[in-house]
């Protein structure tokens, strides 16, 4: 039952027990004093009052005797006689009243017997007293004196003897009451002494119980717990507490457990702070490396964007050249038709014109193949451009192939132009043979038309290629913007990592304020040491950018375009 009580309840119970014992002792003393005072007061009120009334009754009887003596000695003096008679009546009245009051006290059978004796003596005395008064009134004073000295003495003495005995009995009762009070006071003192000893023993028992319980609750002296708490407050965890055997629930045991747990927490926090500091330092280094890579990538994207602009300009120039070639082929066709009308004089040179026509057919086949390959390479360029954000190296190769095909197309156009000029010269030289060569000239015109269509297709494909390259350039520009934003974010991340590293160092410095036992503090770094982990992957080695050979009519791409 007491095990579930709180500290306040136990202290209140102990103090309440002491207070209850003190109240019990004080109550017993107060009750004994009250009972003694009550009995003493009762004795005083009864016995002393009885003695007073008995003395007054005795005195009243004596006053009656004195008044009767004065009446007998008046010798005819009326005034003296009346005065004595008045005293007699007053004494008789007092005597009657006092006897009635004595009867009302109920003093017990012995006193009641004495009062009965006094009443019987009074009853015997009153007739004699009346005879005395009659003798006095009749003037028979000698007879009155004889009666006073004779018969009246016996009842008077019995009356007085009864009251003397009553007074002696009441005095003895008062003495017995005083003795009883003394005995009661002595018994009360003995009782109070016993209760005081019992209260003292109980107080010592309660004090011993409280002391044992408090020391068991604290596990030792309060000063020891206070010293340990003060050292813990001063961040000193080196104190070793000497606990009693089997003590696991006292305040000192709890302080020891708290101190041990604080040691573990401090060691763990110290190790984690060092780990966080090391990790944040690695992250900062990796972020710095990533920032450099991002800047390099942004620079490469800028170079790629510039190369895309140059390639776009080149493709547009190629499209314009194809348009001009179409216009010139159209002019050649018109010239061929005109030459057909003038070929009547160039029959002898028809074979040469036929050979030139075959050459033109081969060139046309070459141009056709170039156009087809240009279309395929344009598709490849679009695919490689889509991948330019990741690698971008294949785009340079595609661009070189497109440039080579464009150069071959230009060379073929030049050869066509030269052949057309030669054909014109041959037509001029063999205008006489135009009728014989009419069919051949018509075939030449048709071939020129087909070449014109092919060149128009090349021009259209070049325009579409230019539009696609424009879109790729815009995508590269957007990628460059995103890369720059990533670089800014990387810088912010690097700053945050530096701040985290500083905070981890401050945390480690704060934890270093806790003083631990030497063995535990030395074992902590070895127990929590971990090999540093790399904050990021090593930068991959980039291949060397291929050098672009300068060719006539073409601008070399910047070196960073292959990044």
339: CATH:
1.10.287
Q: Is the same domain home to 15 and 152?
A: yes
Residue showing tokens 């011993």:
208
- Domain edge (last residue) among 176, 199, 218: 218
According to the model, what pLDDT value does residue 218 have?
64
Q: How far is CA 397 from the centre of its chain?
A: 65
Q: Are 319 and 463 in contact (CB under 8 A)?
A: yes
- Domain edge (last residue) among 218, 246, 261: 218
- Classify residue 241: in a domain, yes or no: no
The length of the chain is: 563
How many other CB atoms are there within 10 angstroms of residue 147's CB atom?
21
Q: How many domains does the chain have?
A: 2
According to the model, what pLDDT value does residue 534 have?
45
- Classify residue 523: in a domain, yes or no: yes
Q: Residue 180 — pLDDT band, cuts 50, 70, 90?
A: confident
Residue of 376, 360, 377 whose CA lies nearest to 452: 360
How many other CB atoms are there within 10 angstroms of residue 18's CB atom?
16
Residue of 214, 248, 435, 417 whose CA lies nearest to 326: 417
According to the model, what pLDDT value does residue 546 have?
40
User: Residue 245: is it exposed, middle or buried by C-beta count within 10 angstroms (0-12/13-18/19+)?
Assistant: exposed
* Mutual angle of helices 438-511 and 251-341, in 10-degree steps: 170
According to the model, what pLDDT value does residue 542 have?
44
- Classify residue 228: in a domain, yes or no: no
Residues with Cβ within 8 Å of 202's Cβ and at least 6 positions away in sequence, in order, are 17, 18, 21
According to the model, what pLDDT value does residue 563 have?
34
pLDDT digits (tens, 9 = 90+) for 336-387: 677 666 655 655 666 666 667 667 767 766 776 776 677 677 667 766 766 6
- Classify residue 234: in a domain, yes or no: no
How many other CB atoms are there within 10 angstroms of residue 341's CB atom?
12
Q: Is the same domain home to 298 and 190?
A: no
* 458-461 long-range Cβ contacts below 8 angstroms, 24+ apart: 458/322, 458/367, 458/370, 458/371, 458/374, 458/409, 459/319, 459/322, 459/323, 459/326, 461/371, 461/374, 461/375, 461/378
Query: Using the 8-state DSSP alphabet, how is residue 346 labeled?
Result: -
Q: Is the confidence at residue 426, as pLDDT, over 80?
A: no
Q: Is the same domain home to 167 and 279?
A: no
User: In the predicted model, what is the mean pLDDT of residues 264-283?
Assistant: 78
Q: Is the confidence at residue 165, as pLDDT, over 50?
A: yes
User: Rounded to two decimals, what is the model's pTM?
Assistant: 0.33
Exposure string for 357-373, b = 16+ CB within 10 A, e = fewer = bebbeebbebbeebbee
Q: Is the same domain home to 276 and 213?
A: no
- Classify residue 428: in a domain, yes or no: yes
Residue of 344, 407, 342 whose CA lies nearest to 374: 407
The listed range with the strongest mean pLDDT (43-52, 288-297, 335-344) is: 288-297
- Classify residue 126: in a domain, yes or no: yes
According to the model, what pLDDT value does residue 20 have?
76
User: In the predicted model, what is the mean pLDDT of residues 388-408?
Assistant: 63
Q: Is the same domain home to 342 and 462?
A: yes
| DSSP SS3 for 533 | coil
Query: By residue range, what is the domain housing residue 152?
Result: 2-218
Distance CA 341, CA 438 (A): 8
Distance CA 486, CA 473 (A): 20
According to the model, what pLDDT value does residue 201 have?
83
- Domain edge (last residue) among 218, 246, 279: 218
* C-alpha torsion sign, points 192, 196, 197, 202: positive
Distance CA 520, CA 555 (A): 73
How many other CB atoms are there within 10 angstroms of residue 321's CB atom?
19
Distance CA 416, CA 408 (A): 12
- Classify residue 205: in a domain, yes or no: yes
Residue of 288, 292, 294 whose CA lies nearest to 535: 288
Q: Is the same domain home to 173 and 304?
A: no
- Classify residue 12: in a domain, yes or no: yes
Q: Is the same domain home to 207 and 351?
A: no
Distance CA 74, CA 203 (A): 83
Q: How far is CA 511 from the centre of its chain?
A: 21
The phi, psi pair for 73, rounded to 5°, reads: -95, 10
What are the residues facing 431 on neighbouring strands? 345
Residue showing tokens 């071959």:
408
Q: Is the same domain home to 356 and 492?
A: yes
Distance CA 149, CA 143 (A): 10
User: Residue 533: is it exposed, middle or buried by C-beta count within 10 angstroms (0-12/13-18/19+)?
Assistant: exposed
According to the model, what pLDDT value does residue 531 have?
47
User: In the predicted model, what is the mean pLDDT of residues 69-85?
Assistant: 74
According to the model, what pLDDT value does residue 562 have?
36
**CATH number for the domain including 14?**
1.20.120.1730
Q: Is the confidence at residue 272, as pLDDT, over 60?
A: yes
According to the model, what pLDDT value does residue 128 have?
79
Q: Is the confidence at residue 35, as pLDDT, over 50?
A: yes
Q: Please state which of the ranges 67-81, 154-168, 444-458, 543-557 shows the lowest mean pLDDT.
A: 543-557
Query: Using the 8-state DSSP alphabet, how is residue 56 labeled?
Result: H
Residue of 99, 87, 82, 98 whose CA lies nearest to 63: 87
Q: Is the same domain home to 330 and 396?
A: yes
According to the model, what pLDDT value does residue 560 have?
37
* Mutual angle of helices 393-429 and 350-386, in 10-degree steps: 160
Q: Is the same domain home to 335 and 408?
A: yes
Residues with Cβ within 8 Å of 450's Cβ and at least 6 positions away in sequence, in order, are 364
According to the model, what pLDDT value does residue 286 have?
82
What are the residues facing 236 on neighbouring strands? 515
CA trace torsion 290, 292, 294, 297 (10° rounding)? -130
Q: Are 364 and 452 in contact (CB under 8 A)?
A: no
- Percent of the residues in the chain that have a pLDDT greater than 70, as a whole number: 59
Cα angle, residue 266 at apex, residues 262 and 270 outer, rounded to 5° = 175
Q: Is the same domain home to 159 and 280?
A: no
Q: Is the same domain home to 212 and 286?
A: no
């Amino acid at each position: 039952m007491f095990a579930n009580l709180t500290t306040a309840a136990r202290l209140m119970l102990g103090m309440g027990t002491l207070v209850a014992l003190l109240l019990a002792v004080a109550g017993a003393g107060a009750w004994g004093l009250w009972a003694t005072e009550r009995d003493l007061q009762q004795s005083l009120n009864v016995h002393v009052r009885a003695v007073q009334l008995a003395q007054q009754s005795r005195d009243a009887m004596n006053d009656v005797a004195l008044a009767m003596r004065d009446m007998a000695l008046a010798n005819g003096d009326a005034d003296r006689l009346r005065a004595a008679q008045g005293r007699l009546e007053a004494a008789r009245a007092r005597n009657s009243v006092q006897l009635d009051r004595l009867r009302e006290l109920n003093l017990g059978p012995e006193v009641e017997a004495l009062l009965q004796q006094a009443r019987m003596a009074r009853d015997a005395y009153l007739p004699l007293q009346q005879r005395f008064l009659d003798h006095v009134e009749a003037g028979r004073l000698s007879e009155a004196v004889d009666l006073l000295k004779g018969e009246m003495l016996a009842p008077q003495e019995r009356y007085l003897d009864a009251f003397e005995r009553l007074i002696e009995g009441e005095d003895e009762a008062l003495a017995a009451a005083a003795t009883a009070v003394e005995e009661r006071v002595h018994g009360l003192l003995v009782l109070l002494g016993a209760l005081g000893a019992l209260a003292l023993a109980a107080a010592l028992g309660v004090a011993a119980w409280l002391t044992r319980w408090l020391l068991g609750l604290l596990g030792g002296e309060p000063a020891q717990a206070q010293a340990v708490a003060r050292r813990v407050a001063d961040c000193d965890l080196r104190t070793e507490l000497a606990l009693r055997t089997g003590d696991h629930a006292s305040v000192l045991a709890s302080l020891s457990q708290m101190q041990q747990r604080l040691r573990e927490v401090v060691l763990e926090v110290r190790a984690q702070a060092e780990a966080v500091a090391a990790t944040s330092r690695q992250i900062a280094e990796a972020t710095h490396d990533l920032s450099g890579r991002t800047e390099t990538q942004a620079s490469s994207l800028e170079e790629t964007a510039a190369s895309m602009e140059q390639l776009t300009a080149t493709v547009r120039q190629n499209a314009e050249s194809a348009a001009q070639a179409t216009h010139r082929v159209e002019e050649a066709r018109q010239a061929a038709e005109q030459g057909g009308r003038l070929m009547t004089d160039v029959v002898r040179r028809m074979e040469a014109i036929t050979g030139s026509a075959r050459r033109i057919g081969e060139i046309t086949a070459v141009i056709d193949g170039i156009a087809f390959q240009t279309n395929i390479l344009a598709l490849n360029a679009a695919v490689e451009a889509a991948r330019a954000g990741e690698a971008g190296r294949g785009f340079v190769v595609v661009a070189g192939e497109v440039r080579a095909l464009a150069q071959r197309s230009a060379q073929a156009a030049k050869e066509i132009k030269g052949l057309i000029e030669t054909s014109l010269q041959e037509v001029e030289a063999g205008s006489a043979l135009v009728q014989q060569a009419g069919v051949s000239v018509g075939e030449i015109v048709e071939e020129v038309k087909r070449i014109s269509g092919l060149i128009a297709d090349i021009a259209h494909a070049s325009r579409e290629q230019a539009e696609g390259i424009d879109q790729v350039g815009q995508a590269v520009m957007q990628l460059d913007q995103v890369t720059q934003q990533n670089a800014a974010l990387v810088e912010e991340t690097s700053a945050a990592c530096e701040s985290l590293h500083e905070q981890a160092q401050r945390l480690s410095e704060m934890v270093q304020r806790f003083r631990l036992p030497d063995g535990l503090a030395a074992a902590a770094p070895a127990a929590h040491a971990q090999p540093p982990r790399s904050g990021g992957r090593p930068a991959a080695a980039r291949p060397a950018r291929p050098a672009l050979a300068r060719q006539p009519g073409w601008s070399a791409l910047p070196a960073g375009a292959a990044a």
